[in-house]
Structure 1
């Protein structure tokens, strides 16, 4: 008989669970608030964001103004939303290279449905379904055809992108009219924060709760920590993997809706390269490529860091040809420092002989 899977409440006592932002122990123990904060996996990227913002602001004070910082948050929201979903997959030792293409196809679907005369808010709901279906298709390819996720999603990256280009004939598709509530709300701001940035915050809160306090979140981390042990304990590995890919596709659909509402149109080339930036943002934020540990907050902060770098390069008038080089250097530096810090933590946590 297979053992039953532990409940979410058991995750604090499970050494394999990889609870977000901290370590676990066999017996619960209280931590003072300062230790809890300093133990967060995303602390490094948060410090890096503050330091980089202050550095840019020292040379260009305009960058420190509230509207400019809010703009950076809004621009980073699309990759941030995708990175939050990617954190779940990476925690399971999976990844989705098609999220950028799902983003583009979802945006095109949203604009096309609106052009067909359907209420934009209904179109938004249908678009979320489109993203979820595309994510489900990825999961079925991986499960039925038994393809590794990197191979399956590399294929669907090209399939989805090619379909979007063919369907739109390479042209933009206009979304809702400027005077419609859909465009006014999504294209507007709340307390100075662009609506996409606000939605990123909402997504982070919801997914953090799911990751840390639900059975699904516990199973995701357990599978990444030890897939064989998770399956032996009765965790439905295939079903959880499917749910994670559907979640990632759903978030791709949400990013598409936000793009159409904020920009007013859908471009078949939108989201190109976003899959790699989403993976980088999640890893920079503290999600482990080896699986078993994830942080949604860190994934969002990683996307914001990439956004700050991109905007900072524009302020310093760095030729656009060097943008990818600079982003790659930042990613490499952040991941290297993260690896160094984690190795130091592992050595310091070993009991003395």
Structure 2
């Protein structure tokens, strides 16, 4: 392998991410040992496909956590984008254009989060705590609290985007492309370096001439656009717009990023780790079904996984600190 190829590989994958891969493989094997049907290729692909929607949200959350920020409104942005696009399509707009409008709407809602926060000088976690309810309320109001149905299911948008490519659901391919692009941006571009610099030391970043407000708005806009993109994949899959969909997705996206190895202290992030974290959450949820555990225990299981991931990250950091001291 040439030095340039190794450099590119280093920008895409990190050693830390292999630990998350090992945890995922171990989890799958444990479930498969008790329920061999879980190891069926179609079942595993289905787990990844179901995790793709949260995985795309987690990619955006990685950037925010790397800046010591959070977006609690991504689940509501996701739902409002779906409802908005579905309503446009229901009224005769071409589904491809409706989907593009849904992504733009998501980006706009993310930008609104950023501009509100900068206007009133409050952290994004407070701003998005408010817009979480605001955007969800708009989704319910626009749809009158009902599912937006009667969409042209036979249109190419629904059959292509909601179908498979080479035997793999299209959302999985989109997730892989998003993760690859955002990984290269985060680790190999000036914008990515800016995001990490702000998370490492906001004051030093400000003194070096970095515009914290502009970068914060840009990252929140990115998060909103990814929520819109994930929403359009969901719209294509279900061919309807449910205003209640995505409840709790913001917490799952945060959990996926943390499980994947993105620290809450900021300064670094792993997009691939966040994708793997989303797949781990999906694997846990599917495993509970195989073991006959009621779906109401999903949140409990998610909380346990988050605590274990945070505890493991803390332990590894202490060991590294002790090793460097010695």
TM-score (norm 2): 0.94
Q: Does residue 124 in structure 1 map to residue 92 in structure 2?
A: no
How far, CA to CA, are the matches of 2:321 and 2:266 in structure 1? 16
What does the per-residue CA deviation read over 1:239-294, in whole Å, with 9 as the maximum and x for residues that have no partner?
11110000000001001100000111111110000001100110111111111010
| Residue 242 (structure 1) aligned to one of 201, 209, 217 | 217
Q: Does residue 110 in structure 1 map to residue 85 in structure 2?
A: yes
Work out whether residues 85 and 102 of structure 2, in 8 Å CA contact, stay in contact via their aligned partners in 1. yes
Give the gaps of 5 or more residues in structure 2. Answer: 1-5
Work out whether residues 74 and 196 of structure 1, in 8 Å CA contact, stay in contact via their aligned partners in 2. yes
Using a 3 Å threshold, how does the CA distance of structure 1 residues 232 and 186 change in structure 2: closer, same or farther?
A: same
Could you tell me which residue of structure 2 aligns to residue 9 of structure 1? Answer: none
Residue 191 of structure 1: how far off its partner (Å)? 2.3
- Which is further off, 163-172 or 267-276? 163-172
Residue 149 of structure 1: how far off its partner (Å)? 1.2
Work out whether residues 110 and 175 of structure 1, in 8 Å CA contact, stay in contact via their aligned partners in 2. no
Could you tell me which residue of structure 2 aligns to residue 60 of structure 1? Answer: 35
Using a 3 Å threshold, how does the CA distance of structure 1 residues 43 and 36 change in structure 2: closer, same or farther?
A: farther
How far, CA to CA, are the matches of 2:294 and 2:179 in structure 1? 33
What does the per-residue CA deviation read over 1:171-211, in whole Å, with 9 as the maximum and x for residues that have no partner?
11126422211011111112221111111111101101111
Could you tell me which residue of structure 1 aligns to residue 58 of structure 2? Answer: 83
Residue 74 of structure 1: how far off its partner (Å)? 0.7
Could you tell me which residue of structure 2 aligns to residue 97 of structure 1? Answer: 72
Could you tell me which residue of structure 2 aligns to residue 318 of structure 1? Answer: 293
Q: Does residue 223 in structure 1 map to residue 198 in structure 2?
A: yes
Structure 1 stretches (4+) deviating beyond 4 angstroms? 31-39
How far, CA to CA, are the matches of 2:123 and 2:213 in structure 1? 13
The alignment partner of 1:173 has SS state of: coil
How far, CA to CA, are the matches of 2:211 and 2:10 in structure 1? 35
1:262-277 correspondence runs (5 A) = 262-277=237-252
The alignment partner of 2:15 has SS state of: coil
Using a 3 Å threshold, how does the CA distance of structure 1 residues 348 and 36 change in structure 2: closer, same or farther?
A: farther
Q: Does residue 167 in structure 1 map to residue 167 in structure 2?
A: no
Q: Does residue 155 in structure 1 map to residue 130 in structure 2?
A: yes
Work out whether residues 70 and 192 of structure 1, in 8 Å CA contact, stay in contact via their aligned partners in 2. no
Work out whether residues 57 and 63 of structure 1, in 8 Å CA contact, stay in contact via their aligned partners in 2. yes
Using a 3 Å threshold, how does the CA distance of structure 1 residues 35 and 258 change in structure 2: closer, same or farther?
A: closer
Q: Give the alignment's Cα RMSD to 1 decimal.
A: 2.0
How far, CA to CA, are the matches of 1:140 and 1:32 in structure 2? 37
1:14-33 correspondence runs (5 A) = none
Give the gaps of 5 or more residues in structure 1. Answer: 1-30
Work out whether residues 11 and 187 of structure 2, in 8 Å CA contact, stay in contact via their aligned partners in 1. no
What number of residue pairs does the alignment pair up? 321
Using a 3 Å threshold, how does the CA distance of structure 1 residues 293 and 32 change in structure 2: closer, same or farther?
A: closer
What does the per-residue CA deviation read over 1:304-325, in whole Å, with 9 as the maximum and x for residues that have no partner?
0000000000011101222211
The alignment partner of 2:246 has SS state of: coil
Residue 91 of structure 1: how far off its partner (Å)? 0.4
| Residue 190 (structure 1) aligned to one of 165, 179, 191 | 165
| Residue 229 (structure 2) aligned to one of 254, 265, 269 | 254
Q: Does residue 232 in structure 1 map to residue 207 in structure 2?
A: yes
